[in-house]
Structure 1
Amino acid sequence: MASILVTGSAGFIGFHLCRRLLTEGHEVVGVDDFNGYYAPELKRARTEILRSFDNFVSVEMDLADSAAVECCFKDHCPELICHLAAQPGVRYSLVNPFAYERSNVAAFLNVIEQARHASIPRFVYASSSSVYGGNTKMPYSETDPVNTPISLYAATKRANELMAFTYHHLFGLQTIGLRFFTVYGEWGRPDMAYWSFLECILHGEEIRVFNQGKNSRDFTYIDDIVDGIVASLFRTELEGYEIINLGNNQPVNVLTFITILEELAGRPAKKLMASAQPGDVVSTFADITRAQAKLGFHPKTDIRTGLSRFVTWYLSETKIGHAVRLSRKA
C-alpha cells in the first residue's frame, strides 16, 4: 500500500478521498490550514472522522509557507501526491483576489516543487471546469481552447495546469490535472448551491436564482469524483502530462435542481429571480470520453439519487447545520 499526501484533507473532496484511501489500507498524510472561508467546525468534524483511522496523520499548516512544506515532505516522505487544497469560489475571488494568488498559485508552486525534489512518481492535482470560461461549444472537451478565463479563480486553475506542464517538461514529473465539474454530496461545502438552497428551503428564506434561472451545471456526485481521483493515482497507462474532465455528462438546469430539492425537503422554495453574476458561466457540460478511456470513469449517480443522499445527511447532522448558519451570520 502507498503512502499518500493529500492536501486540502479537511475540505469536501479531500475528506472523501482520504476516507476512501484509508479504508483501502493506504497510509495518508492529510494537510489543511482549516481557514475560515466557511465554517471551520465542519472541517474539524470531517478531520475527526479521519483521525479514527490508525493510518491517518493530520498536519495543520499553510501551504504558502515554503519552509513548512519542505519540512512536511522530509518528515513524512510521501510516495504519491494528490493536491486538492485551494481557495474555492468564483464570486469570492472578486472581493478577495489575493487569497487566490496565495492559496492557488504560491501554494501550488511550493507543493509541486517539493514533489520534484522528492522524486515523486506522480503528482495529481485539482483543476476545474471553470477554465473553459465562456466556451459555448458543448460538451466541454479537454482539447477546447482555455485561454480566456472569466474569473480570477479560473485563471489560477489554468495557471496550475501550465505550471504542471512546465514541471513535466523540465523535470519529467508526471502530472495529472483533473477538471472537476460542480461536485456535490454529503459533508459538502456550505457555499455551494445545493447546501445553501436546501438551507433556505428548510428555513423559509429566499433563494436568489441568478441569470433568471437559465443556468445549468453538470452536477457530479462526490463518490463518482473520488472514483476518478483514485483511478488517476493508480492507473498505470497514463501519459506524463494529462488533463482529464471528471463530470457527470448530464447538465441539469438550476430550476429543475431546485424542484428536486423542494420535493426531497417536502417544502416549497421562495425564489427571487436575479440577473447574472460577474464571473459565472451559463452552462457546464463535461465530455468524459477521455476519462472513460484512461481512467475507466463511469459516473453512476443521477442527480435525484445524489441529492436525496445529501438531504438525508443534512437532516441527520443538525449540529453541523447549526454551526454553518451561525458562521454565515458572524
Structure 2
Amino acid sequence: MRILVTGGAGFIGSHLVERLISSGHDVVIIDNFNDFYDPQLKRRNFSEIVGTAEEGEQNLILCEGDIRDADFVKAVVLQESVDAVIHLAAAAGVRPSIENPLFYEEVNIRGTMNILEAARTAGVRFLLFASSSSVYGNSFKTPFSESDPVDHPISPYAATKKAGELICHTYHHLYKMNIACLRFFTVYGPRQRPDLAINKFTRLIDQGKAVPFYGDGTTSRDYTFINDIIAGVEKALSWVCSVEPRYDIFNLGGSRPVELSRLVEILESELGKKAILDRLPMQPGDVHITFADLAKSGSILGYQPVTSIEEGLRAFIRWYKENN
C-alpha cells in the first residue's frame, strides 16, 4: 500500500513510518517541522527514517507543509495517489492548549477537515485518526471504555480531539469512508517529545535540577510504550482496510496506570540519582487518572501491549544516554 502519514517526522510518526517501510509499504510524509519543540529533533528523526529507506525514491517521500493549507494537502493526496491516510499531525499538549486555544482549533479541527476533504476528493477510503485519552476528561469511572460518555472535556486540546472524532464520523456517514479513531494513552519511548513528563523528568534528574511535581504524587497515567502503540496502529490499519464501510473508536493503552510518585522512583533507580522535587499544585486541565479498557481493541483488533513500565523506561533511558 501507499500510505500518507501526517506528522510523520514526530515522535510517534517517525516510529510508525519506519515500521510501515519495513513491512513493505510506500510512505508519503506530511510534516511542517514546526517550532513547538526544537525542529532539529524532528529533522533528526527523519534522518533516522532515511536510514531505513531511500528518501525521494518510491518508498519514502517527504512533503513539507502545513495541514492548515487545504490546497497543499489536497495536492499531496491527489498527486501521490495514496491508498490510506494515518492522520497523526496535531497541535499537542493539554497545558499549551489552554494558553493558545485558537491555534489548537486551527490545527486540530480545520487541519483534520482538510485531510478528510482531500481524502474524499481523491477517493481514499481508509483513514486512521489519532485521538487521545484526554477526551475522557476527569472521569472517576475506571477503566475508561470507548462506550463511556465523553461530553465533558477539560482542556481545549481534549475538546479538539473529540471534535475530530465527530468530524470523522460525519465523513464516514456521508461518504462511506472506513475510519478508525485511536485513543492513545500517554505514549513514551525513544524520541519522545522533550516537553513530556518522562523525557523532562529524566533530563532534570540527570542534570541535578528541580523536577516540577504537580499534586501529591497520587495522580496516575496509563503509560504506553511506543512499540505497543505502533503494533496497535498496524492492527487498526489492517482492520480498517478489510471491513465493509465502518467507523469505530479504539483505546490503545497499557492498561496499567502508574502513580506519579512511582514513576519518579523508577527513574531515580534507573539513573542512579535522586530527584529534587519542586512541589506544585495541580494544574488546570490535568486529570487525576487515565486507565484504558482494552477489551474492545483486544477482541476486535487483537491489540495486546507487552511492555512493562520498568522495561519501557529502561529502553527510554538507554536511548537518552546514547543521544544526549
TM norm structure 1: 0.94
Gaps of 5+ in 1: 319-330
- Of 169-178 and 234-243, more deviation after overlay is shown by 234-243
CA–CA separation in structure 2 for the residues paired with 1:154 and 1:248 = 20
Contact 1:213 1:273 in 2 (8 A): no
SS of structure 1 residue aligned to 2:216: helix
Structure 2 counterpart of 1:214 = 218
Matched position secondary structure for 1:276: coil
Residue 120 (structure 2) pairs with residue 120 (structure 1):
no
Superposition map of 1:68-107 within 5 A: 68-107=72-111
Of 241, 254, 272, which residue of structure 2 is paired with 1:266? 272
Q: Please state whether the residue corresponding to 1:212 is helix, strand or coil.
A: coil
Partner of 2:32: 33
Matches for 1:1-330 after TM superposition, within 5 Å? 2-52=1-51, 53-54=53-54, 55-235=59-239, 236-237=242-243, 240-318=246-324
SS of 1:91 mapped into structure 2: helix
Matched positions, count: 317
Q: How far does the alpha carbon of each residue in 1:31-74 deviate from its partner, in whole angstroms, 9 at most, with x for none?
A: 10000001111100001122230221111101100011111112
Q: CA deviation at 1:132?
A: 0.3
Confirm or deny: 8 A CA contact 2:125 2:176 kept in the other structure.
no
Cα distance in structure 1, aligned partners of 2:243 and 2:84:
16
Shift of 1:99: 1.7
Structure 1 CA distance, aligned partners of 2:119 and 2:224? 29
Moved more, 153-162 or 110-119: 110-119
Q: Say whether the 8 Å CA contact 1:182–1:219 is kept in structure 2.
A: yes
The CA deviation string for residues 132-153 of structure 1, in whole angstroms up to 9 with x for no partner, is 0011100000000000000000
Matches of 2:243 and 2:222 in 1, distance apart?
Answer: 27
* Partner deviation per Cα, 1:15-46 (whole Å, 9 max, x = no partner): 11000001111100011000000111110000
Residues 172, 245 of structure 2: 8 Å contact kept: no
Distance of 2:200 and 2:157 partners within structure 1: 20
RMSD of aligned residue pairs (Cα, Å): 1.0
- Contact 1:83–1:126, Cα closer than 8 Å, also in 2: yes
Q: Using the TM superposition, name which of 236-245 and 146-155 deviates more.
A: 236-245
State the AA in 2 paired with 1:243: I
Cα distance in 2 for residues equivalent to 1:79 and 1:222 = 25
Contact 1:10–1:32, Cα closer than 8 Å, also in 2:
yes
Do the aligned residues in 2 keep the contact of 1:3 with 1:29 (CA within 8 Å)?
yes
Q: Distance in 1 between matches of 2:289 and 2:201?
A: 19
Aligned residue in 2 for 1:323: none
Instruction: Show CA shifts across 1:270-291 (max 9, x none).
Output: 0122111000000000000011
TM score, norm. by length of structure 2: 0.96
Where 2:211 maps in the other structure, the secondary structure is: strand
Counterpart amino acid of residue 82 in structure 2: P
Distance in 2 separating the partners of 1:81 and 1:5: 5
Gaps of 5+ in 2: none
Equivalent residues of 2:177, 2:245 under 8 A apart: no
State how far apart, in whole Å, the 1-side matches of 2:308 and 2:244 are: 28
Structure 1 stretches of at least 4 aligned residues deviating more than 2 Å after TM superposition: 235-239
